[in-house]
Amino acid sequence: MIIGIWAEDEQGLIGEADKMPWSLPAEQKHFKETTMNQVILMGRKTFEGMNKRVLPGRISIILTRDETYQSENEKVLIMHSPKEVLDWYYKQDKDLFITGGAEILALFESELELLYRTVVHEKFQGDTYFPTHFDFGKFKVVSEIFHDKDERNAYTFTIKKYEKVKQP
Ligand SMILES: NC(=O)c1ccc[n+]([C@@H]2O[C@H](COP(=O)([O-])OP(=O)(O)OC[C@H]3O[C@@H](n4cnc5c(N)ncnc54)[C@H](OP(=O)(O)O)[C@@H]3O)[C@@H](O)[C@H]2O)c1
């Protein structure tokens, strides 16, 4: 299955200067548990915003138009078009998580069958927003889990899970 997973604030903000605008360990734990042992796809800007840190236990695909872009880590695959990603995906049996940023979520919108959308109940400063034209009307909410703040997590957030509505 191809699944979107991301976190946004109350105004749809997802990034600031190629980084996440907040630090929320409980939300990171949800991301880790949901994507563990699967495949995650991210844009080159997001990867570099993470200082090219490779998340353990997962295969990472990095999308770039730069044919010279390389990674020495065998768990990192560099790909150059959505078609190359989809051709690879259909030849294996893991789920593919589209993790962002905004460009990459927009590119794969029509492929997504399931969404994990975290809404952080706060307004931050930043420069990258979840695609405003994304059509949530094609999905239905199947669960909502509210997380309270605590000593390690300064903001409340809700994880909303959506399934694509089957067309008759
Ligand atoms: N809140 C969240 O859950 C979340 C999740 C992920 C990311 N983010 C944030 O989002 C921000 C980055 O988002 P972004 O939209 O600016 O960048 P991005 O989606 O991470 O990466 C964009 C890059 O992807 C490559 N690309 C785009 N379309 C392509 C195509 N058709 N074929 C091949 N490569 C393609 C290009 O790389 P080249 O320029 O190398 O060609 C492009 O510059 C950061 O602040 C990051 O922290 C937030």
Rounded Cα gap, residues 69 and 17, in angstroms: 21
- Looking at residue 1, its pLDDT comes to 97
- Residues whose CB is less than 8 angstroms from the CB of residue 19 and which lie 6 or more positions away in sequence, other chains included: 49
pTM value is 0.97
- Residues whose CB is less than 8 angstroms from the CB of residue 111 and which lie 6 or more positions away in sequence, other chains included: 2, 86, 98
* pLDDT band at residue 72 under the 50/70/90 scheme: confident
SS3 of residue 138 by DSSP? helix
What residue spans of the chain are helical by DSSP H? Answer: 25-35, 44-49, 82-89, 102-107
Structure tokens at 69: 């872009």
Centroid of ligand 1 to alpha carbon of 150 (angstroms): 31
Centroid of ligand 1 to alpha carbon of 132 (angstroms): 16
pLDDT tens digit sequence for 119-129: 999 999 999 99
Q: In the CATH hierarchy, which fold is given to the domain comprising 2-164?
A: Dihydrofolate Reductase, subunit A (3.40.430)
Assess whether pLDDT exceeds 80 at residue 160.
yes
Question: Residue whose CA is closest, atom 21 of ligand 1?
Answer: 43
In short, whether 78's Cβ falls inside 6 Å of ligand 1 is no
Task: Tell me the domain boundaries of the chain.
Answer: 2-164
DSSP code, position 83? H
Rounded Cα gap, residues 57 and 100, in angstroms: 19
